[in-house]
Structure 1
Amino acid sequence: MCDFSCYGGSCEEWLALEQALPPAAKLEMPSVDMIRLANEEREAIEAVHDSSGAPSPPVETPEEEITPLCIHFQGGGFMYGTLDAEDAICARIAIGCQVTVLNVDYRHTPDFAYPTQWNDADDAFEWAHDNMNKLKCDPRKVIIGGISAGAWVAASLVLQRHLSSDLPPIAGQILMIPCLAHVDCYEPQLIKMKHHSISSYKQNEFAPIFSLAELQWFTSLLKIESPDVNDLKINPGNATPEQVKGLPPSMIGVAGLDPLRDEGLLYAKMLSEAGVPVDVNLFVGLPHGFRCFEERLSASERWDRVVEDGIRWVLSGPVASDEFCVKTV
């Protein structure tokens, strides 16, 4: 039985920043204009903090060079996010890790419900393999990565392909602050805990930035009727040790002040015990999505380093450890 409650609570740096933040907005369906403005704000933040803020020329690779491919799925609760908003993130990864990054903009709620986002991810994966020569990428070195909602889709894609695909195996997965189970299918997660009261759903129920109520609200927009707890497409975290055995090296990043904390750690623990190479990084005292505060939090730089180190790590052909270990960063 697990107890990750020692990772709860806010760090001093977050508490100081939180004092300067405006009150949280009321949880309600935004208008089309509000979604557009929110996306424009995300794009502006990334543009300002992408190196000098000036446009950069495309990164060219030598004609004969074949690179690994990282397929990136954006966060944003399935509602927010654009290609431009993810551009700086993808550029940092491409330059820092010398990989090609495929930036996938799956269709969003509320206009498109489940399984559209999952199908778009699967189509992107198929397209990438059909176009490896054009992309100048190695089909044996494909990494799947995502943030938050994007990590949910990424984990699902990796597990589904592992269980059924005839394409070359995926080289690794990078899951940052992932959701790994539908909120109505969480019971298999809770029974792994020493007690429900110490779960991150309870401990971080009213967490800043992303509370349990917000998780429930964003998930409801997927309009999944009567979700099945055993449906691994929407609940990769509910897989069995036997089903995850043989998954590729997995780097998982978790925030301590996040309702999603425990499912990320539980998944990492199960993978580790099933013989999968796992690298677990926990951002102590920080909420879900803290990376959006850029240089106002020193942890933003650590986030970038964790992602880049994780990509290099999965490509290095790591071996599984005999012991499950959580690194605090």
Structure 2
Amino acid sequence: MFLQGLVTVITLTILGVAIIGYHPLPTGLENPIKVQVAMGILKLLRAVRTVQEYLGYGSPYQNVKLHFLTPKTDDPPKSAAIGDLKVTRDTIAGVPVIVYQPKDNSGLYPAIVYFHGGGWVTCSADMYDTLMHEYAVKTGTVIINVDYRLAPEHPFPTPVQDCIDVTRFILQHGAKYNIDVTKVGVAGDSAGGNLAASVALKLTREPDLPRLLFQIIHYPAMQAFDLHLPSYIDLNQSVPILTQDQMAAFYAYYMGVNRENIDHFTTVISENRHIPADVRKSKLASFVDVKLLPPQYQTPKNPRPTIHSDYDAQVYAQIKDIVADPLFSPLMAPDLTGLPPAFVQVCEFDVLRDDGFLYARRLQDAGVQVKLHFGKGGFHGDIIIYIFVQLNSAESCLSEVYSFVKDRLGK
């Protein structure tokens, strides 16, 4: 009797988990069964946040920082045990990093300074250890994996300044790590793609530094001016690794909004009520003009939400000096000329799809060499999920990235 009861409980638990974790996925998504498993885990985590809210521990956006995704440890990085590279922890310009170097230190090597994703709020260099090890092996470069400080404790400009300081140090003193300072590039994904673009924008304008050789930008978050671009409207819940509301919350935290006000700011930003009408008609609007998108993506398939005329003046007053700052939103930079050649990954099923398209187009219009990778069937976060689950879209993109780096290095 006890055994039957136990089997019943286990069966019902599995069924309940499956029901809670299930999410219908769009047609054309790569590896849908594997992605469904990942979606299920994410939905269960969000269900935990809902329970926390019910118990009085704050709303899901007040609990957006998942501490198990930002582990802190002094232990050697896990990839050090593989033994084919010298993998060590260090501090550069006061910022913790993980360094991946060839064991032969007799010469100078090219390098990539990498900035992890996570909405400027969560994740860590350690979470990217496996991917950075592969990056190092496949490109033959030294990798500097930057563990920049995170919001909300350290809002803009602290995270990007950490990344600028580390990269500037490498360009000035790279020989300390057997780096050829004339062969350095930056890279990052999601929020890290934003940081990579910002670092390239900033350091390209510093004439006393060696020029960055390239920038690699995976599915980047490039602006908080318009969260009603077609990809935000059509793909908001298609693959809920990243939704419009989640992106609004990340932007709000990065802009320095405190935890008590995060729900209000998230709602206002996601509804596009954070920018007044006159500013929406300014030159800034031209940087997010849907006419810059590929023709098939210029018009959303779903109805575009109405922007309320009664924008929230209090919200705008707090963010107005940040939202158009090029180091916060590289897409808002008035001048993109002279930047290093770029590899830009855009995913078909990603609310940030249009951010990537717009930035690639503006770089091209500024005369910058761009390799645009459109990940058909891909979705936000696929290259980091690829560490755990084999994904065709991520494998294809990374293969092109490694070829791009070798081409830039003349290998």
Please state which band the TM-score falls in when normalised by the shorter chain. 0.7 to 0.9
User: What are the Cα deviations for residues 63-93 of structure 1, in whole angstroms up to 9, with x where unaligned?
Assistant: 4421111100011111222232222222111
Q: Does residue 1:95 correspond to 2:137, yes or no? A: yes
Q: Does residue 1:237 correspond to 2:331, yes or no? A: yes
* Number of the residue aligned with 1:303: 397
* Number of the residue aligned with 1:205: 236
Q: Does residue 1:56 correspond to 2:83, yes or no? A: yes
Q: Does residue 1:293 correspond to 2:385, yes or no? A: yes
Task: Tell me how far apart the structure 2 counterparts of residues 283 and 308 of structure 1 sit (CA, whole Å).
Answer: 16
Shift of 1:128: 1.3
Task: Tell me how far apart the structure 2 counterparts of residues 61 and 141 of structure 1 sit (CA, whole Å).
Answer: 19
Distance 1:100 1:157, change over 3 A: same
Determine if contact 1:14/1:286 at 8 Å carries over to the other structure: no
User: What are the Cα deviations for residues 11-36 of structure 1, in whole angstroms up to 9, with x where unaligned?
Assistant: 2434433444426215333387x41x
User: What are the Cα deviations for residues 237-287 of structure 1, in whole angstroms up to 9, with x where unaligned?
Assistant: 1234xx212211110011111111111111111212322111000112322
Choose 296-305 or 69-78, whichever is displaced more. Answer: 296-305
Determine if contact 2:115/2:196 at 8 Å carries over to the other structure: yes
**Equivalent AA in structure 2 for residue 314 of structure 1:** R
Distance 1:291 1:223, change over 3 A: same
Task: Tell me how far apart the structure 2 counterparts of residues 13 and 31 of structure 1 sit (CA, whole Å).
Answer: 27
In the alignment, which of 253, 256, 259 is matched to residue 221 of structure 1? 253
Distance 1:293 1:231, change over 3 A: closer
User: What are the Cα deviations for residues 48-67 of structure 1, in whole angstroms up to 9, with x where unaligned?
Assistant: xx6xx953242535444211
In the alignment, which of 151, 164, 167 is matched to residue 125 of structure 1? 167
Task: Tell me how far apart the structure 1 counterparts of residues 106 and 357 of structure 2 sit (CA, whole Å).
Answer: 40
Determine if contact 1:10/1:257 at 8 Å carries over to the other structure: no
**Equivalent AA in structure 2 for residue 204 of structure 1:** L
TM-score if structure 2 supplies the norm length? 0.63
Q: Does residue 1:13 correspond to 2:30, yes or no? A: yes
Distance 1:221 1:10, change over 3 A: farther
User: What are the Cα deviations for residues 203-227 of structure 1, in whole angstroms up to 9, with x where unaligned?
Assistant: 2222321011110011111134323
**Equivalent AA in structure 2 for residue 167 of structure 1:** L
Q: Does residue 1:78 correspond to 2:113, yes or no? A: no
User: What are the Cα deviations for residues 134-188 of structure 1, in whole angstroms up to 9, with x where unaligned?
Assistant: 112111111011111111111011112223442111111000111111x2x238x
* Number of the residue aligned with 1:282: 374
In the alignment, which of 180, 183, 191 is matched to residue 138 of structure 1? 180
TM-score if structure 1 supplies the norm length? 0.78
Structure 1 runs of 4+ off > 4 angstroms? none
In the alignment, which of 342, 348, 356 is matched to residue 264 of structure 1? 356
Determine if contact 2:155/2:254 at 8 Å carries over to the other structure: yes
* Number of the residue aligned with 2:62: 29
Q: Does residue 1:312 correspond to 2:345, yes or no? A: no
Task: Tell me how far apart the structure 2 counterparts of residues 315 and 64 of structure 1 sit (CA, whole Å).
Answer: 19
The percent identity for this pair of structures is: 26
Task: Tell me how far apart the structure 2 counterparts of residues 286 and 79 of structure 1 sit (CA, whole Å).
Answer: 23
Task: Tell me how far apart the structure 1 counterparts of residues 64 and 214 of structure 2 sit (CA, whole Å).
Answer: 38
Task: Tell me how far apart the structure 2 counterparts of residues 110 and 143 of structure 1 sit (CA, whole Å).
Answer: 28
Q: Which runs of 5+ in 1 are unaligned?
A: 1-8, 41-45, 191-195, 318-329
* Number of the residue aligned with 1:320: none
Task: Tell me how far apart the structure 2 counterparts of residues 219 and 275 of structure 1 sit (CA, whole Å).
Answer: 29
* Number of the residue aligned with 1:255: 347
Q: Does residue 1:173 correspond to 2:215, yes or no? A: yes
SS across alignment from 1:131:
helix
Determine if contact 1:106/1:117 at 8 Å carries over to the other structure: yes
Q: Which runs of 5+ in 2 are unaligned?
A: 1-25, 50-59, 72-76, 87-100, 257-317
SS across alignment from 1:281:
strand
Determine if contact 2:119/2:191 at 8 Å carries over to the other structure: yes
